[in-house]
Amino acid sequence: MSPVFQTLILVCYGLSAIFFVADRLRHEARLVSIGVIALAAGAILHAFGIAAIGIDSGAFPVADFGETLSFLAWLTALAGLVMIVRSRMAVVGVFLAPAVTVAFAAASILRFQQLEQSRIVLPETLRSVWLPIHVTLAILGYAMFVLAASVSVVYLAYERRLKGKRALGPIEDGTPSLEKLDRINYQLLGWGFAMLSLAIITGAIWADATWGHFWSWEPVESWSLVIWILYAALIESRLTVGWRGRRAAALTIVVFTVLVGSFIGVNLMYPGKHGGNFG
């Protein structure tokens, strides 16, 4: 992916963030439309960029953390577009679009640094059909968690405004109710948890076929298990204890913060077989 093409994608994502934020400040429907168009344009161009990297490398483009982060930004943008358009929740774009923009910018910087050194090449033993299945499931699960955290932030902000007896926005703004936000948060957590579970299972099967053992307890695997347990506990608390609303939203953000910390920290410092040390 050329620097010019990367810049074009970044501009589209950046413009989408600007227009979504401007809509919250001015409440003009056309700003939402422009934000959606910019986000969609960025996602389309991003798809071509990912395909170009894959064709150039001859493998699924997730050989290093930069490529993985870029893939996460793309899937998050796509999932966010679906939710914004289908559920009429433009307010989520205020948090989603900037997150996608920052993630893609960071991925571009990491990829540039990697190209200055030497490109990581996947060995033939890992060029398996399990690679796109395992990685797509894992990253799609993370994308669902990004959306769940965004919805939770919106929930807490709206609840605070309601308690302060401040208007959420004009009637035509399509402001979602707190009940709807809580329900969507639960659905996103459920889908994210299912995707992460399948990613762990497929990863174990792939590891056994490649290295002869299902689990090696390297940092990425261990933290994936920790994240899985935390989200399992979060979902269980909603089902059995009845934690919903503000408490569920706050816990979603807390667990997501742990996810972000582990995703960035582990992949940068101790990637193991998931970040270039494929032996």
pLDDT value at residue 34: 92
For residue 125, what pLDDT is reported?
Answer: 61
Query: What are the Cα distances from residue 46, in Å, to 50, 62, 76?
Result: 6, 14, 12
pLDDT, residue 2, reads 75
Note the pLDDT tens digit of each residue in 88-141.
888 889 999 999 999 999 998 887 766 555 566 666 666 678 888 998 999 999
The domain spans of the chain are 1-121, 151-279
pLDDT tens profile 175-184: 678 888 999 9
Predicted pLDDT at 279: 40
Half-sphere exposure of residue 176, counting CA atoms within 13 Å on the CB side? Answer: 23
**Residue 65: per-residue pLDDT:** 85
DSSP assignment letter at 130: H
Q: What is the pLDDT of residue 120?
A: 61
For residue 39, the surrounding DSSP H or E stretch is helix 29-57
Residue 121's pLDDT is: 63
Contacts of 42 (CB under 8 A, 6+ apart): 9, 10, 12, 13, 16, 77, 100, 104
Count of beta carbons in the 10 Å neighbourhood of residue 114: 17
> In this predicted structure, what is the pLDDT of residue 277?
45
CATH code matching the domain that covers 1-121, chosen among 3.20.20, 3.30.70, 2.60.120, 1.20.120: 1.20.120
Q: Which residues of the chain have pLDDT under 50?
A: 170-172, 276-279
Instruction: Pinpoint the alpha helices (H) of 118-244.
Output: 130-163, 178-211, 219-236
Q: How far apart are CA 79 and CA 130, in angstroms?
A: 22
CB atoms within 10 A of CB 270: 15
Cα distance from N-terminal residue to C-terminal residue, the chain: 27
